Structure 1
Amino acid sequence: MISTVLIGLAAACLLGLGFVAQQHAAYDEPLGEMLRLHLLLDLIRKPLWLCGVGAMVGGQILGALVLQRADIARVEPLLATNLIFALGAAAVVYKERLGWAEWLGAVLVSGGVAVFLAFGQPHGGDAPAPGSPVWLSVLVVLMAAAALVMVALRLDLQTKAMLLAAAAGMLYGLQDALTRGSLLTLARGPHALAVTWQPYMVAVVAVVGILLNQSAFDAAPLRISLPATTAAEPITGIVLGVVIFSEHLRVDPGALTGEILGLIALVAGIVVLGRSPFLAKSERNPAESRDPECR
């Protein structure tokens, strides 16, 4: 259990550092590049963005290692602490001390994770049977993410960034679930994995999730574009873990109360940290031009 927590926190650290680097690079892109593959083609030429992607991939690899040995409902809350590491990285970069709001957010996030794990005690979970409608759960998540994107296109820039980030978070949660499914299938042999659709779907979901996330980073500062991703991923992953893999959480009244309070504290902490002025430092000078025709 301790090694699982440590690896999960290491994964969250790499994810947080990766998000900070990616947002610094993506925020310089014209708004007209949002939701276009050309945005990724531009970003891939930037060393800072590539370093950020490298850190994120490293975090995802560690996350996959944890998912191989623990349930999604146990891993997702740990990965949600990536915003704490992003905040710490921003504080180091700008050489400023953390205030009471940052400490409050950190306590809420880490405390929410601890409370959820202590009361929920997530356990169990098996690879879905060949005839089980896994695709239906995947379709529901994809449709929900698509609906957020469609709504975002009609709204102001900051709201658009939050909705795109939330859609990206949902896809990241789906990616975690598909990764766990692929790892459980791999236990039956490489051939069993090769003939299933899940590992191929992981690649597709990952690319679309990155595009949505970079579009959110392009639209707004980190304090606006990251918290929604960080909140949506664990919630989506936990729900899919229960629905697809039959993972179990304690459901007696006391446990349910603790689980709900833990998740509320987790989301509240993410919101508090997301409003930190450190995460706003990447917001550019209003005098700078951002392709006015695309506003």
Structure 2
Amino acid sequence: MILPLGLAVLAAVLNAAGDLLQRRSMRTEPGGHRGPLRLLARVTRRPGWLAGVGVSLVGLCVHVVALSTGTIATVQPLLVLEFPVAVLGASLLFGVRLSRRDGAAVAIMTLGVAAVVLCPAPGGGDPMAVPGATWGLGLGVLAVLVAVLAVAGVLTRGNRRAALLGTAAGVGYGMTAALLSAAGTTTRHGLTAPVGAWQTYLALVVGTAAFALLQSALHAGLLVASEPGLTLANPLVGVSWGVLVFGEHVRAGLWLVGTAAGAVLLAVGTVLLSRSPVLELRQGRSPAPRTEESEESEDSEDAVAAA
């Protein structure tokens, strides 16, 4: 139990670090490029960007090992920690002071993740015992959901498009985690067994599609619109797949109340943190410096909104 938890947290930290390294390199890239290929050709010559990609790949490998040694219902929610870690890291890296609301959001998300993981205490389940028909039905349902969200996003614009496409990407990443979890489990038959597992190759296809949807979401609108759906849909799909398809068992009774409360805290913290000015750095903008006056104004606005 401890090993997959530690690996999942490590994967979240590595993913956040890789993202920050890439974003830092991209911030120094002058504008005016025509097309993403020319931009990619330039940034691939930057050591910082390449280091970020390398760290992210290591994070992916650690994530796969975590899924192979633990239950997906335990591992996938912990990947949500990548979001607050990235915000905290960006604050330190770019010298932007977090507001009190940002600090509260990080604390709320952390408590939510802890409740979602510890209260149900998922266990058991066997991805290798899932019949082909069940795989087909489950993957088909998720594929239709992703398609509906993606089409709805294409038919809209602005932040609504970003929200729909971000949610579609989150569902796709959760789907990818389910496939990787099954592929990783095949290592019981040998370390090279995942090479022959069909889930490995389908995970590459689904993961690539989810990445493309995410890029479209980031291009369509603000992170405050795309981040909540992306952050929340991923663990929701992972936990649901683990319980309903892999047969992982969870604790019932009052533990379910604690799990539901944790999910609410996770959602609230995600929405609050998605409004952090630090996230503007991930879109190539420099946020306004934080002052006591701006924090007091922000707190006042939150108080009025809450009233």
Q: TM-score range by the shorter chain?
A: 0.7 to 0.9
- 1:118-157 matches, cutoff 5 A: 118-126=118-126, 127-157=128-158
User: Is 2:231–2:270's contact at 8 Å kept on the other side of the alignment?
Assistant: yes
Separation of aligned partners in 2, 1:216 and 1:261: 29
Return the letter of the residue paired with 2:213: L
Aligned match of 1:244: 245
2:5 corresponds in structure 1 to: 5
The residue number in structure 1 matching 2:173 is: 172
Partner deviation per Cα, 1:45-95 (whole Å, 9 max, x = no partner):
524655444333222211111111110111111111111111012212331
Structure 2 CA distance, aligned partners of 1:67 and 1:28?
A: 39
8 Å CA contact 1:40, 1:211 repeated in 2: no
Task: Give 3-state SS (helix, strand or coil) of 2:189's partner.
Answer: coil
Return closer, same or farther for 1:232/1:96 CA change in 2, 3 Å cut-off: same
Kindly indicate whether structure 1 or structure 2 has the higher relative contact order, using CA contacts under 8 Å at least 6 residues apart. 1
Q: CA deviation digits over 1:219-241, x for unaligned, max 9?
A: 33444433321111111111111
Query: Percent identity at matched positions?
Result: 31
When the two chains are superposed, the root-mean-square deviation of aligned CA atoms in Å is 2.9
Q: Which structure is larger by alpha-carbon Rg, 1 or 2?
A: 2
Equivalent pairs, count: 279
Contact map agreement 1:162 1:224 (CA 8 A) in 2: yes
**Residues 15-34 of structure 1 aligned to structure 2 (within 5 Å):** 15-20=15-20, 25=26
Q: Distance in 2 between matches of 1:71 and 1:41?
A: 41
Q: Is the 8 A contact 1:82 1:230 kept in 2?
A: no
Q: Is the 8 A contact 1:221 1:279 kept in 2?
A: no
Question: 1:62 matched to which residue of 2?
Answer: 62
Q: TM-score, normalised by structure 1?
A: 0.83
Tell me if 1:85 matches 2:89: no
Tell me the equivalent position of 2:300: none
CA deviation after TM superposition for structure 1 residue 192, in Å = 6.1
Find out whether 1:100 has 2:100 as its counterpart: yes
The structural deviation recorded for 1:118 is: 2.5
Query: Which residue identity lines up with residue 240 of structure 1 in the other structure?
Result: W
Aligned partner of 1:125: which letter?
G
Residues in 1 aligned to 2:108 and 2:195: alpha-carbon distance in whole angstroms: 42
Tell me, yes or no, if the aligned pair for 1:18 and 1:51 is still in contact at 8 Å: yes
**1:229 partner amino acid:** L
CA distance in structure 2 between the aligned counterparts of 1:177 and 1:164, rounded to whole angstroms: 20
**Distance change (3 Å), C-alpha of 1:132 and 1:264:** same
Separation in structure 1 between the aligned mates of residue 200 and residue 66 of structure 2, nearest angstrom? 17
Tell me if structure 2 keeps the 8 A contact 1:224–1:275: no
Question: SS where residue 226 of structure 1 aligns?
Answer: helix
Please, which runs of 5 or more residues in structure 2 have no aligned partner? 286-307
After the TM superposition, which of the residue ranges 219-228 and 123-132 deviates more from structure 2?
219-228
Aligned to 1:225: 226
Q: 1:5 to 1:100 in 2, by over 3 A?
A: same
Do the aligned residues in 2 keep the contact of 1:158 with 1:219 (CA within 8 Å)?
yes
Instruction: Tell me, yes or no, if the aligned pair for 2:4 and 2:67 is still in contact at 8 Å.
Output: no
2:40 maps to amino acid: L
Contact 2:3 2:69 in 1 (8 A): no
1:71 correspondence with 2:71: yes
Check whether the contact 1:220–1:283 (CA below 8 A) recurs between aligned residues: no
Shift of 1:181: 0.5
TM norm structure 2: 0.80
CA shift, 1:122, in A, is 0.7
Distance in 1 (CA, whole Å) between partners of 2:264 and 2:213 is 25
Assess, with a 3 A threshold, how the Cα gap between structure 1 residues 143 and 49 changes in structure 2: closer, same or farther: farther
Cα distance between partner residues in 2 of 1:109 and 1:162 = 20
